[in-house]
Amino acid sequence: MKLLVTGGLGFIGSNFILKLLNENTDVKILNVDAELDGSNPKNLRNLKNSHNYEFVKGNIVNKKFMEEQIGKCDAVVNFAAESFVDRSINDANPFLVSNIRGAFTILDITTKQKKRMIQVSTDEVFGSLSEGTASEESKFNPSSPYAATKAAAELIINSYSVTYGSDVIITRCTNNYGPRQFAEKLIPKTIILANQNKKIPIYGNGSNIRDWIYVDDHCDAVSLALFKGKEGQSYNISANNEIDNVTIVKRILGVMNKSEDLIEFVEDRPGHDFRYSMDSKKITSELGWKTKLSFDKGLEKTIQWYLDNPEIINNLSTTVLDPTPWKNSN
Cα torsion angle, 206, 211, 213, 215, sign:
negative
Give the E-state strand segments of the chain in sequence order. 2-6, 28-33, 53-57, 75-78, 116-122, 168-173, 175-177, 200-203, 209-214, 234-237, 242-244, 263-266
Strand bridging mode 2-6 / 75-78: parallel
Residues in the chain: 330
Catalytic residue among 33, 86, 108, 123: 123
Rounded to 5°, the CA angle 207-241-283 comes to 135
Identity of the residue numbered 158: N
User: Is 123 part of the annotated catalytic residue set?
Assistant: yes
What is the C-alpha radius of gyration for the chain, rounded to an integer number of angstroms? 19
Return the exposure string of 248-260: e unless at least 16 CB atoms fall within 10 Å of the residue's CB, then b.
bbbbbbebeebee
CB neighbours of 259 closer than 8 A, spacing ≥ 6?
253
User: Is 124 part of the annotated catalytic residue set?
Assistant: yes
Residue 132: Cβ-neighbour burial (10 angstroms; 0-12, 13-18, 19+): exposed
Catalytic residue among 33, 86, 108, 124: 124
Residue 35: Cβ-neighbour burial (10 angstroms; 0-12, 13-18, 19+): middle
Catalytic residue among 33, 53, 146, 235: 146
Q: Please give the positions annotated as active site.
A: 123-124, 146
